[in-house]
Structure 1
Amino acid sequence: MAANDPELAVRGAVSDAELRTLFSAAWGDDSGTCWAPILARSLSWVTARRGETLVGFVNVATDGGRHAFLLDTTVHPDEQHRGLGTRLVRAAADQARTGGAEWLHVDYEPHLTGFYAGCGFRPTTAGLLRVAPSPGSAR
């Protein structure tokens, strides 16, 4: 890690406003999510800050047993392609291991295959079922 790299914090303090700003910059959508109840049930999460500014985040959910799930891996566009995402994922994997998980799962879009392979993930076959209506669709 270089001296000017963003600082990672396990279970770092983070506000809804900060996460919304980060998600909006990275994904174009702040989702309006209220994070306190999500983080209260998470195994862990990792924040990355450059100074006071949140520039990265990843959440580690759990089934309470052998499985943990990597969610919401996000790096601010100004910080991408510098290794921060990999650092976040590795720190999250350490938290999953420390928390007793045997497996860490992640879902991702095809264009992220190389990134997650570089973090040590191997592709698996999985299924996905939408159980809620799509945003904007009639019930």
Structure 2
Amino acid sequence: MKHEIVINLPIAADEVPNLRELVGWDGRYSDYPTLFERCNFWAGLRDEENKLIAFGYVSGMGLQHGYMEDIIVHPEFQQKGIGESLVRKLLQEAERVGLEIVTLTYDSKHTSFYKKSGFTPCSGGLWRRKD
């Protein structure tokens, strides 16, 4: 399968939540399609049957800094280089639109993946609302 990652790929409102659930995440159905209206850009990949198999996006003010989130690859298509291609495409688009810094947070088990994809690990912080 050739990795034809497409920036701002047309995506139906339920496709990303369905993909999120396939990888064991909360679907966040209420976030879509609002996310597409608010983020800077997104990227996706479809398989031969036109099913969404990869997704990620960059959000922020669109000035100097962006934040990458939701790098998702369908479980059946993982370990094939799709995730790395997705991240690289998003970083190419970030560079094209003039972003100088892109950050993201990830579980430490994914450090080597993100290093391979061009990120430099660094310290940071996380605030989370208390439920």
Aligned residue type for 1:46: A
- Quote the offset at 1:78 in angstroms: 0.3
Aligned residue type for 1:33: S
Q: Which runs of 4+ in 1 moved over 4 A?
A: none
**1:33 is aligned to 2:30:** yes
- Quote the offset at 1:41 in angstroms: 1.6
**What is the root-mean-square deviation in Å for CA atoms of aligned residues?**
1.3
Aligned residue type for 1:39: F
| 1:102 aligns with one of 100, 103, 106 | 100
Q: Which entry has the higher C-alpha Rg, 1 or 2?
A: 1
Aligned residue in 1 for 2:47: 50
- Quote the offset at 1:38 in angstroms: 1.5
Aligned residue in 2 for 1:137: none
Task: Tell me, in whole angstroms, the C-alpha distance in 2 between the residues paired with 1:28 and 1:11.
Answer: 22
TM normalised by structure 1 equals 0.87
Task: Tell me, in whole angstroms, the C-alpha distance in 1 between the residues paired with 2:25 and 2:78.
Answer: 15
Provide structure 2 residue ranges, at least 5 long, that are not aligned to the other structure. Answer: none
Aligned residue type for 2:55: F
Contact 2:14-2:29 within 8 A present in 1 as well: no
Task: Provide the aligned length of Structure 1 versus Structure 2.
Answer: 130
Q: What is the identity percentage for the equivalent residue pairs of Structure 1 and Structure 2?
A: 27
- Quote the offset at 1:106 in angstroms: 1.1
TM normalised by structure 2 equals 0.92
| 1:19 aligns with one of 16, 21, 24 | 16
Quick one: structure 1 residues 129 and 28, their matched pair in 2 at CA, closer, same or farther if it must change by over 3 Å? Answer: closer
Task: Tell me, in whole angstroms, the C-alpha distance in 2 between the residues paired with 1:93 and 1:118.
Answer: 13
